[in-house]
Amino acid sequence: MAFTYSFQKILELRKREKEQKEQEYEQSVQQFERMATSLYELLRQKEQIEKMYKENMDQGIYIHQLQQNEKVIFQIQEKIQDVQKKTDRARDLMYKKEDEMSEASIEWKKYQKVKEWEKEAHHRSLKQEEEKIMDEISTRRYAFR
């Protein structure tokens, strides 16, 4: 008699959920990496502009250039703040997806473990049944000698 797991459909559902959560997590990681890279590029750009600004200040600079540089730095700082918020949200989402993925994986493992236990119990019962039949055959052979 073949082993059939009574919760096979639930196990398959949990496996699909786990795979979906893993995929969502990977997407959230990629989104976070894109946002973090964007933030890094903006910070690097701001650093370069400030360095250039300092060099210009040392050499002397016209007022309108000074105003223009200040305006550019202010705009970059606003972009940095915006991207920082987006990066923080992406990080929070990534952590949330990681937790969901872990929970889905745990649920799947629970059903997988129950399946293994039931399969072992099934094999033990088959073995006991086989031993019982062998004992009966042995007893009959002995009795009919």
Q: What is the DSSP secondary-structure string of 45-103?
A: HHHHHHHHHHHHHHH---HHHHHHHHHHHHHHHHHHHHHHHHHHHHHHHHHHHHHHHHH
Helices 8-59, 63-143: axis angle to 10 degrees equals 160
Q: Percent of the chain scored above 70 by pLDDT?
A: 99
The mean pLDDT value of the chain amounts to 92
Q: Predicted confidence band at 39 (pLDDT cuts at 50, 70, 90)?
A: very high
* Other beta carbons within 10 Å of 90: 21
Give the predicted TM-score (pTM) of the model. Answer: 0.75
Cα–Cα distances (Å) from 8 to 12, 13, 59, 82, 108, in that order, read 6, 9, 76, 48, 11
Amino acid 140: pLDDT: 84
Amino acid 9: pLDDT: 92
Residue 65, both tokens: 């250039």
d(CA 100, CA 108): 12
Reported as a single tens digit per residue, the pLDDT across 45-91 is 999 988 988 888 888 878 888 888 889 999 999 999 999 999 999 99
Check if the beta carbon of residue 102 is closer than 8 Å to that of residue 25. no
d(CA 30, CA 33): 5
